[in-house]
Every structure is written in structure tokens, then in C-alpha cells.
Amino acid sequence: MATFALDPSHSSVEFTARHMVFSRVRGAFTKFTLDLDVDESTNLPTAAAATIEAASIDTNVADRDAHLRSADFLDAEKFPTIAFLSTKISGSPSAFAIDGTLTLHGITRPVTLRAVVDGRGKDPWGNDRIAFSASTTINRKDYGLTWNQALETGGVLVGDELEIALTIQAVNAQQPAAV
């Protein structure tokens, strides 16, 4: 078993939401942590715990980001973190499931991430690194994120489903991370 720590400069937490029924808006969280235990023989994680700073949401539109941080959506002042804790990991490196709990907006619900091991190797400085990709879809209303606005042409401004995509690179925690 090896413990790995997130390399934030080579990782991302991104999301996609429907806007006005027919388009998509993409965004990311820029501040997050991840602690990861990995089985040395399979490269599969055996445990994962992540924390995201809700206020770090970034859609490249300052006014929209401020609205998403407000009480209408994330209420980042009242709920400053989003957390994930794995409860079960199963499958093979080419396709595995990470079952866990996601706490968002003060509500904790079960969620399953579909994931793959993208690879493992030494970087130019001799650090042991591993990479994963994972995704899931959640319904924002399940987490109390219910704000919306009806459109004159029918439908609503914000879709209920959020697609979440993670690209993770981590370095063996016993080794110092390099650039």
C-alpha cells in the first residue's frame, strides 16, 4: 500500500451544466485536496478523500461565479467545502467504480464515480506518480440546489444534472513533489 498526495498543478475538477435547455456551461474548482491510498500490485486506489473549496468555482464569468457562490446555489459562505469520501472501490485498472459519499451544500448522499487508471511512472526528478480519470453525474436538486428561472420560450435557465469530470495526478506522499 502506498499513500499518494494530489499534484494540484496537474489535476482538475470540472463540471458541465445545461444552460437554457439547449447549451452547456463548463466550469471548474481551482482549490481542492485529495488523499489517496493505492494498492501497489494493481494500481487501484483503496481509499480516497477529497475536499473542494466551494468559493474556488470558476466559469470564466465573474458575475456568474459570484451568483454560483451565493445562497442561490453553493452558499459558499455557509458551506465552504464540498467533500467526497470513498466507501468501496471495485473493478480493474481499465474500469473501476469508486462508491462514496458526496457532501455538497450541507447534504450528504451516496455517489459512484466511474474511473480508470491512466498510468503510473517516474517523473524526471524520480518521483513516483499515478494518474486517474473519473466521472459521474449528479442531480443538483438532490443537494438542495434548487434555484432556477423559467424561460419565456419554455424550459428553465439551469438544468438539473451536473456532469462532473476529474483528472487526477498524484505523487507518492513519501517523496517531495516537483514541478
Tell me what pLDDT residue 38 has.
Answer: 93
> Which of the residue ranges 21-25, 142-146, 160-164, 171-175 would you say has the lowest mean pLDDT?
21-25
Euclidean distance between CA atoms 66 and 55, whole angstroms: 9
Question: Which phi and psi (to 5°) does residue 80 adopt?
Answer: -70, -15
The CA-CA-CA angle for residues 115, 116, 118, to 5°, reads 140
Looking at residues 31-59, what average pLDDT do you find? 94
Residues 6+ apart with CB under 8 A from 22: none
Question: Which phi and psi (to 5°) does residue 46 adopt?
Answer: -110, -20
Containing 13, the helix (H) or strand (E) segment is: strand 12-19
Q: Which pTM value belongs to this model?
A: 0.88
Sign of the dihedral defined by the CA atoms of residues 130, 113, 73, 109, in that order = negative
How much of the chain, in percent, has pLDDT values that exceed 70?
A: 93
**Residues present in the chain in total:** 179
Q: What's the fold here for domain 2-172?
A: Lipocalin (2.40.128)
Tell me what pLDDT residue 150 has.
Answer: 76
Break the chain into its structural domains and give their ranges. 2-172
- Binned at pLDDT 50, 70 and 90, residue 22 comes out as confident
Whether 116 and 90 have beta carbons less than 8 Å apart is answered as no
